[in-house]
Amino acid sequence: MSYYNISEELEDAILTIRIDRPQKLNALNRETIQELHEALKEAREDEEVKVIILTGAGEKAFVAGADISEFADFSPKEGKRLAAEGQEKLFNYVAEFPKPIIAAINGFALGGGLELAMAAHFRIACDNAKMGLPETSLGVIPGYGGTQRLPQLVGKGRAMEMIMTAGMIDANQALQYNLVNHVTEVEDLLDFTKEIARKILRNSTVAICNAISAINANYEPGKDGFGVEIDMFGKSFGTEDFKEGTTAFLNKRKAEFPGK
């Protein structure tokens, strides 16, 4: 499909999706959220796509927030619907995606941009990146999962401080907070991220999908994460990937998983 607000590049099973609204510092509007949903939906069904990298076009921003002009005059009912639809269509969709999604943060990741990065399975930032949830400075709170995912990643106290002060942290502080996994030079960000993606590609896509489900279960209210792990562990024994992986190990050779 062709898109207006995003671009895609598929190379060696790695799909790079760029949010591309440079005139708005890649801010998320409803159209961009819909396009991201459609691109991810297509990638989910595409057997050639094994790992996805989300990043921003240009050197200034990953996503500098939501497009405030779209909802500045919303009523409480409209605001609630905006958050609910956005979470279902994009942010939860990313978090629960069965293929690995890595956020490559190439500049400002603010508000909805940081919420999108936090929904990804993990994050890598360039050294000039800035991250924050500035919503309280606008008289509102994060609505795309920020109040839930930020404490999970950095702890309750740090999340409270970041949200209450509406301040930004730099990439090194984000690394210290465990908000990002790695920090790279600006020019190395995508190459470094793709190198990690290639490491993921060596392993079983079926097992990785099951691992995502098991890990996510720990953060879902009312779910027994240990029970989901047990179920997914048992399920693995019935897969061709398990047969290949164990056979390769016992025969001291490299596994060639089905579907690669």
How high does pLDDT run on average in the chain? Answer: 95
For residue 23, the model assigns a pLDDT of 86
Region of 107 (left: φ > 0; alpha: ψ -120 to 50; beta: rest) is left
pLDDT class of 145 with cuts at 50, 70, 90: very high
Question: Which tokens go with 17?
Answer: 């999706």
Active-site choice (35, 38, 135, 244): 135
Q: Is 135 a catalytic residue?
A: yes
226-246 pLDDT, tens per residue? 999 999 999 999 999 999 999
5-14 pLDDT, tens per residue? 999 999 999 9
Q: Is 88 a catalytic residue?
A: no
For residue 260, the model assigns a pLDDT of 52
- Strands lying side by side in the sheet with 51-56: 6-11, 14-19, 51-56, 101-105, 122-126, 182-184
pLDDT class of 59 with cuts at 50, 70, 90: confident
Query: CA–CA distance from 153 to each of 92, 157, 188 (Å)?
Result: 16, 11, 24
116-129 pLDDT, tens per residue? 999 999 999 999 99
pLDDT class of 221 with cuts at 50, 70, 90: confident
For residue 67, the model assigns a pLDDT of 84
Residue 259 has pLDDT above 80, yes or no: no
Active-site choice (31, 35, 85, 115): 115
Whole-model pTM: value is: 0.95
